[in-house]
Chain A
Amino acid sequence: MNGREEKHKVGQEKQPKGQIKPRVSGWLFLGRPPAILDPIRKRFEPPQRLIGPFVKNGQVVADLGCGSGYYTLALAEVVGPQGEVYAVDLDRKCIRALQKKADKAGYRNIEAHASSAADVSFIKDRSVDFVLANGLL
């Protein structure tokens, strides 16, 4: 078993069971914090807390308004190589940053688009198991 497979296994084991309140409390910022603060954000807003109850291995998910991929990478980890993550953000810089992070981490299951959430025509009808629109509206 290589490192990636081990990470997937660990990720699955850590998924909380049952219904939990996904909204993260205690975060200092009212909106989306800058990517530079991701290490601190992980302490207060671990991505697994939000996505764990809803996302499973092999699923297709869409992260609308993904920013630089705080949740996208966690989603890619959980859905694994058999799943797929569509990451969408208007900001091309964010998408480029996300692609760099995904390449560095070796994720091949992320399809990133610099686009408005109002037009995700590259995603097929009735094809997504979970949509994450965190702070999008």
Chain B
Amino acid sequence: MADNRQLSVNEMKRILKAGGKAYLSLGFHPPLGFVDKAEWEKILAEFRVEQGGSFQEKWVVVSLKQG
């Protein structure tokens, strides 16, 4: 994952409350966007997926993983 995106994900995890949620979405698919399917799945793996998550739909609602 690109450094800036990893840092952004880290910041989201840092600021979210334990019961908080985050809505993430992609602006574009490659080649116009930067996040490919592998990176999308890597991002999702950092959270607990609450809703969505399909790479084609480009959005997901996540919360922090327990523990």
Contact = CB atoms under 8 A, between A and B. Distances in A.
B49 interface: no
Contacts of A19: 51
Interface residues of B, number: 34
Interface stretch (A77-85, A97-105, A118-126): A118-126
Given A22-B59, A23-B59, A124-B15, A130 B20 contact: yes
A19 B4 CA distance: 32
Interface in B9-61: 11-12, 14-28, 32-35, 40, 43, 51-52, 57-59, 61
Interface SS majority for chain A: loop
A50 B33 CA distance: 22
Contact of A126 (B3, B18, B33, B57): B18
Given A30-B32, A127-B17, A118 B11 contact: yes
Contacts of A106: none
A73 interface: no
A21 B21 CA distance: 15
Given A128-B17, A129-B20, A137-B24, A119 B52 contact: no
A32 interface: yes
Give the contact-size bracket for chain A.
Answer: 20 to 34
Contact of A31 (B16, B19, B27, B51): B27
Interface of B: 3-5, 7-8, 11-12, 14-28, 32-35, 40, 43, 51-52, 57-59, 61
